[in-house]
Each structure stands twice: as structure tokens, then as C-alpha cells.
Chain A
């Protein structure tokens, strides 16, 4: 009788290890960590919690984890849904794994700590202002590269266009629209505001304002993740991330093009 109980307990513990490994890997993939990290953190967590072997297969929108403990294996599959980039979650998940490796956390404590992670979000207006400033700096860099000094109206217009567009993008994301829709609509708004500089002759270099104000739509993180995934051998997740990044770029292009048609301002080419 006691032997069966002990067996049952061991099985429950293994099931819990498998679940935690899968949850760790999923949290990392959902918040924009590269595949190599999602795999290694989950494996190290499983080994630290007492599994003999942890095998993880990552796909673009799902993952499989198998743990082996004294000859018995247990497998689980989870779906991956994109939750948006969040380096705070990635950091917290990794620190949980490190604490488990250093034997500061046991199985239950790891589960508690993972469940307690609340994704950090910066205030929406603050992000919009910072992105506005970022694109204004891009405009200034472009002016400097062309040897133009002392034009401060162009960065100012860029600031206005991209800050408003970023606010719109975050507002739309709040209502759970597809990111492709968000990007297209927000790119339309950004280009429309910058186009006014061209139409009314507000600034000396409206072309730079128009190209700098849409730089907030370049999916830099997915692009870098796509290449680094592929370099490290995760070709399938790398390709799907790369395709998603190009789709986001194309959606933004759609917004830009629509805006240029509406205002009849053809500056890009």
C-alpha cells in the first residue's frame, strides 16, 4: 500500500516538473525570448527540480516537453500565443530558474514564483512620448548624415507624428486587434501627420520627417530573433518569426501607401 502511495507521489511530482518546464518555455516564447533561451531555461529548470532528462521540441505556435525520471517519461503539449515583447517577464523567469538551480526554491516555490510574475508595462503616454523622441532623434541623425545643421522643425514634426501614431497603436492593441491591423492604421496616421508638413510647407525637409516617423513600425526585435534563431539551428521558429516581421512591415507599408494616396504626397521614391 505505502509503495503505491510513494509511486503515486513520485508520478505527481514528475507531472508537476513537466508542467513547470512547459510553462517556463511557453512564458519565454510568448514574451519574445529567442528559442535557444526558451529551450535551455526549461531544460535547466527540469534538471534542477530532479528530472533525469528533459526534451523540448519548439514549434512556432506550440511546444512539447518530455521529462524522464527513473525510466518513466511524461509528455505535455502547450499552445503558444503571442503576448507581446516583455523583457521583464523573461528576466523573472530566468531568475526563477537560477534560484532553483542554486537550490533556493523547491517544486512548490518555483510554481508559486512563476504564477506570481506580473508583466511589467510602462505607462502608455510615457512610451508614446519616448517613441516620439526616438523618431525625432532618427530624423536628426538623418539630417546630420546629410550635413544639414540647425533644422529643428523637421524633428519636431516627426515627434508629433510618431508620438500620436504610437498612442494609436497602443490604444488599438488594448482592444486586441490583430497587430497587422494596428500597424497599418497607425502607419496611416503617422504618414498623414508628416504629410501635412509637405502640403503646408511647415518644414524644410519633409521627406526626412515622413521616413523617420514610421520607424517605430520596424519590428526590430522579431527580425533579430528570427536571424539568431536560424543561426542557432531553430530554423522553423526563425522562419515563422521572420515571416511575421516582414508581414508587419508590409502592413505598415499598406498604411503608408494609403496615406500617400489620400494626401497625394509621393515622397518615398
Chain B
């Protein structure tokens, strides 16, 4: 019971922390003011769902990301119809907390380090593992967002 409560609190804190970057980056993308709340909700739900699937269910991070992105995309379609706007207006900002930024930078910096310090297996290992993680997570995000269109809205537009 205690365990469940602490997991719940952890997840709620995680969702709250994910909502802020979703709104922050939505403002960089100049999302209309009325849609910022949806970005925050999507960011919180997506990140919280991924955390639960990854940590509690034990799913690999890439698959957890794919499912979270799919769920947010479905929500985005619902909002898009009410708001008469493309779902990406809401959903891409909501994906931002899940973007593998640290992996991407680590991979590129490791490649540069190979040039600076000379080749080592450790650096190559860092470059490839981080680079692949970044690549697969970004692909999972984009494919997850595209899935409703690929599965349900094949020959008709969402809005």
C-alpha cells in the first residue's frame, strides 16, 4: 500500500514536471494561447504514461514511448476536431518532454571526442548506444503520432 502511494506520488510529480517543458516549448512553436493548456495536459499524460509503462510494467523505453505517443495522438485528434486545428498543433509540444536530448548530445559529443582524443572502444560504444537510443526514441515518437492516421484515418482527413 505504502509502495503504491509513493509510486503514485512519484508519477504525479513526474507529470507535473513534464507539463512545464510542454508549455515552454509550445510557446517557442507559437502555439495559440488557448491551446497551451492542451499541450500541458498532453505533455503530462504522455510522460506519465511512459514512466508507468517503463518503470512499473518494465517495458523497454522505445516501446513505452511509442504507446505514450499513440495515446497522446488520439487525444490530440479529439482536441483537433473541437478546435478546428491540425492535431500536431497540440501533440508535438506534448512530445517535447520525451525527446531524447541528452542521448543525442552525448552521441554527437562522443563522435567529436573520437576525433579529439583518438579512437577508443569506449567512446565508440558511447556514440553508438546513445545515438541508437536517440534515433529509436525519436522514431517511436513520430510513428506513434502518425499511427492514428495510418490505422484509422487512412483516406479521410482528421480535420
Interface of B is mostly: helix
A141 touches B14 (CB 8 A): yes
Residue A269 CB within 8 A of the other chain: yes
What B residues does A122 contact at CB under 8 A?
27, 30
Mask: chain B, 78-114; 1 = CB below 8 Å from A; 0 = not = 0000001110110010011101011011101110110
Across the interface, do A249 and B32 meet the contact criterion of CB distance under 8 Å?
no
Q: Are B109 and A256 in contact (CB under 8 A)?
A: yes
- Which residue in chain A gives the minimum CB-CB distance to B142? A227
- Across the interface, which residues of A come within 8 angstroms of B28, CB to CB? 85, 127, 131
In-complex Cβ contact of B27 among A34, A119, A127, A253 (8 A)? A127
The interface size bin for chain A is 35 or more
> For B96, B113, B126, which residue has the most chain A Cβ atoms within 10 angstroms?
B96
Q: Which residues of B contact A211 (CB under 8 A)?
A: 102, 105-106
A226 nearest CB neighbor, chain B only: B142
- The answer to whether A87 touches B21, judged by C-beta atoms less than 8 angstroms apart, is no
Tell me if A30 counts as interface (CB < 8 A to partner B): no
With A91-B85, A137-B18, A137-B20 as known contacts, state yes or no: A86 contacts B104, CB within 8 Å.
no
From 5 to 20 in chain B, residues with beta carbon under 8 angstroms from any chain A beta carbon are 10, 13-14, 17-18, 20
C-beta contact mask, B1-43 vs A, less than 8 Å → 1, else 0?
0000000001001100110110111111111100100000000
Q: Do the beta carbons of B104 and A87 come within 8 Å of each other?
A: no
Assess whether B146 is interfacial by the CB under 8 Å rule: yes
Contacts of A138 in B (CB 8 A): 21, 97, 101
Q: Counting CB contacts under 8 A, is B145 at the interface?
A: yes
User: Which of chain A's residues have a CB closer than 8 A to the CB of B146?
Assistant: 228, 231-232
Contacts of A249 in B (CB 8 A): 104-105, 108
**Which residue of chain A has the shortest Cβ distance to B87 in the bound complex?**
A37
Interface pair B89/A91, CB less than 8 Å apart: yes
Q: Smallest CB-CB separation from B32: which chain A residue?
A: A88
State whether B105 touches A88 (Cβ < 8 A).
Answer: no
Q: Report yes or no: B17 in contact with A137, Cβ–Cβ below 8 A.
A: yes
The digit string for A113-154, where 1 denotes a CB below 8 A from any CB of B, is: 000000111100011001101110110111010000000000
Beyond A127-B27, A269-B123, list 20 extra A-B contacts (CB 8 Å). Answer: A85-B30, A87-B26, A87-B85, A91-B85, A95-B85, A119-B30, A122-B30, A130-B20, A134-B24, A141-B97, A142-B102, A212-B102, A223-B99, A226-B142, A227-B141, A249-B104, A253-B105, A257-B109, A257-B112, A268-B105
Closest 3 CB pairs of A and B: A227-B142, A134-B24, A134-B21
